[in-house]
Structure 1
Amino acid sequence: MIRIFKNYEGQKELQELNSIELESWVALTNPTSEELRNISDSYQIDLDDLKAALDTEERSRLENEDNYTMILVNIPVVREEDEKKWYETIPLGIFITRKVVFTVCLEETNILKQFIDGLVPNFYTYMKTRFVYQILYNNATLFLYYLRVIDQRANQVEEILHETSRNSDLIQLYDLEKCLVYFTTSLKSNEVVLEKLRKHIGLKHYEEDQELLEDVIIENKQAMEMTYIYHNILRSTMSLFGSIIDNNLNQVMKFLAAITIVVELPTMISGFYGMNVNGAGMPFSQSPFGFAIISVFSLIVCLIAVYILKKKNLL
């Protein structure tokens, strides 16, 4: 899908156009091969570069060609299935030509939707460099927002695990940790692109653009630090609950072993009297109170065993 937008000078409202004009913004969302080919032929943009933004495994990078500058960054997205949410990253391609700014992405993203809905102040399609920096700033702030959501979700799961150690909750912690791994990798590669942009001289800068870029770099670094902190906390939490589960299992096994010992003692005594031997040699075999005496003796042996096991903290 292709949508075309433009701010006319003197007007703040974003207009949607039917055809590409000078100093407009062309948003390509999951475009077809034919749409990519038409853009490539019309604006001399390498087709492979356009397709790179549709490859989920593509790394972030900055490339300066004769007719355009390509900025490829990773952006966070939310996935939902079976009432479960998880977070990953996909590439967003930004192509700056002399006349038009193109964005290419696999799906509609909140980062670009904010521009379409008029939620970004001082946004003008003819200020191409500022527009790009505003996209990157929104990207960094969206990373920060999702990181806070992940942290809140991790805290909720942790509270549940304090009461019950279900496998599904542990799997949720693992999924959240996996999301943070994706974020860490993406933010690091985005940082490389931002540092290159700081030194890049091919883009025309407007007033305050450099300050905006510095804000983007700061936000990205803050997101990286938060990701690192949350990842370490989550990993420590999973390790702690793993140790608690192992310890609880050891306690249960120890208790069951102690109970087995106590129960085995009267069974062993009764087993002696169940042997097929002459009863004359068995104590109390001729006594009318033999059963009661043996039962009391077995109970005393069990109580002694319980006392010894308690003293050794086995019960």
Structure 2
Amino acid sequence: MINYFNTTDGQITPIPAYQRNCWVNVERPSAAEIKHLQTRFNLPVTYLTAALDDKENPRTEGTEQSIIERPALILVRFPHESVSPLGYNEYTTYPFAIILTAEVLITVCNHPAVFIQDFLFHQPQLNINNHERFTLKLVWFIHKSYLNCLDENSHTMDTMEKNLTIATENNDLFQLTAMQKSLIHFQWALRKNRQLLTQLQASEFYFETAPFSELLSDILIESEQAATMTAQQKQIIDEYNTPVSAIVSNNLNIIMKVLTSITIILTIPTIIGGIYGMNVHLPGASSARAFTFIILGTIVVSWLAAWWLRRRNFF
């Protein structure tokens, strides 16, 4: 799917067809769309297909030359929310290609990029004609989305911690496993993205002027913050797994202890009823109030048993 955008009075707005210096956003392109873009803008096909490989590493191509001589490719990884095989929310990362040419800026991804919706919603005062600034803003929003995902992760951890007192199932452990996978994906992607940003800082043809250098430094700060949060959360979850397992197991033991105590108390009337249900002569069996005495005695003995178990913290 191909969408076209341009800026009107500093606002990014969709347009029905291609215009020079517009932004071409491509999501899950078909073979025909890739062929069209390759032919229309004279691009290497690898620029357009790089983002279609989910395992592709962040990298740059063509940044060692002027944009007039050759289009440039900047490939970064962005976070994407998904569902684990067990049905729990987790995050993974996918490649996002930014292609700079003399007449158009093209972005390509193979999965829905939520950060683009945020980018359009916040409507930064941008001119798409300034491809380098527009590119850096996109990269900044990508790293901002990492921070948003990490904040959501932190909120999930806080909710889990509040529910630990009543946790008796493996749901929390499965959720922790999904979060751990997410953080491993983030750790790897952020490390590769930082290497990419360092390469861009060293470029002699792109982002070398002062405003771009400052914005690139801001992106590196966001990336470093995301990497720090990822490392902290991963360490917490690594240490968190054992206590959560112990708490869930302990909660199950408490339930079993309560059920065992109830079983003991209910066994007392069963034993007494079984004894007085035997077809033999028993003390008090001939009394007119035998049934009343048996019931009262059963209640007293059961209460005493319950009182004794309660004093021993069985429930």
When normalised by structure 2's length, the TM-score is 0.72
Using the alignment, how far apart are the partners of 1:236 and 1:123 within structure 2? Answer: 47
Number of the residue aligned with 2:243: 240
- The structural deviation recorded for 1:31 is 1.1
Number of the residue aligned with 2:53: 55
Distance 1:196 1:158, change over 3 A: same
What does the per-residue CA deviation read over 1:254-311, in whole Å, with 9 as the maximum and x for residues that have no partner? 999xxxxxxxxxxxxxxxxxxxxxxxxxxxxxxxxxxxxxxxxxxxxxxxxxxxxxxx
Using the alignment, how far apart are the partners of 1:73 and 1:162 within structure 2? Answer: 38
- The structural deviation recorded for 1:85 is 3.2
Equivalent of residue 102 in structure 1, options 103, 106, 120: 106
Q: CA contact under 8 A between 2:77 and 2:95: conserved in structure 1? A: yes
What does the per-residue CA deviation read over 1:196-254, in whole Å, with 9 as the maximum and x for residues that have no partner? 11111122555511100000000000000001101111221112122344567789999
Write the letter of the residue equivalent to 1:69: A
**Correspondence list, 1:54-93, <5 A:** 54-64=52-62, 67-79=70-82, 85-93=89-97
Distance 1:27 1:251, change over 3 A: closer
State yes or no: 1:218 paired with 2:211: no
Using the alignment, how far apart are the partners of 1:12 and 1:201 within structure 2? Answer: 28
Equivalent of residue 120 in structure 1, options 110, 121, 124: 124
Write the letter of the residue equivalent to 1:54: L
Using the alignment, how far apart are the partners of 1:102 and 1:203 within structure 2? Answer: 16
Number of the residue aligned with 1:200: 203
Q: CA contact under 8 A between 1:4 and 1:25: conserved in structure 2? A: yes
Computing the radius of gyration over CA atoms, which structure comes out larger, 1 or 2? 1
Write the letter of the residue equivalent to 2:102: R
Write the letter of the residue equivalent to 2:81: V
Identity of aligned residues (%): 24
Q: CA contact under 8 A between 1:86 and 1:175: conserved in structure 2? A: no
Using the alignment, how far apart are the partners of 1:162 and 1:171 within structure 2? Answer: 11
Count of residues in Structure 1 that have an aligned counterpart in Structure 2: 303
Q: CA contact under 8 A between 1:173 and 1:234: conserved in structure 2? A: no
State yes or no: 1:139 paired with 2:132: no
Using the alignment, how far apart are the partners of 2:12 and 2:222 within structure 1? Answer: 27
Distance 1:167 1:111, change over 3 A: same
Q: For structure 1, list consecutive stretches of 5 or more residues without a partner in the other structure.
A: 257-315
State yes or no: 1:36 paired with 2:34: yes
SS of residue paired to 2:24:
strand
Number of the residue aligned with 2:2: 2
Using the alignment, how far apart are the partners of 2:57 and 2:249 within structure 1? Answer: 40
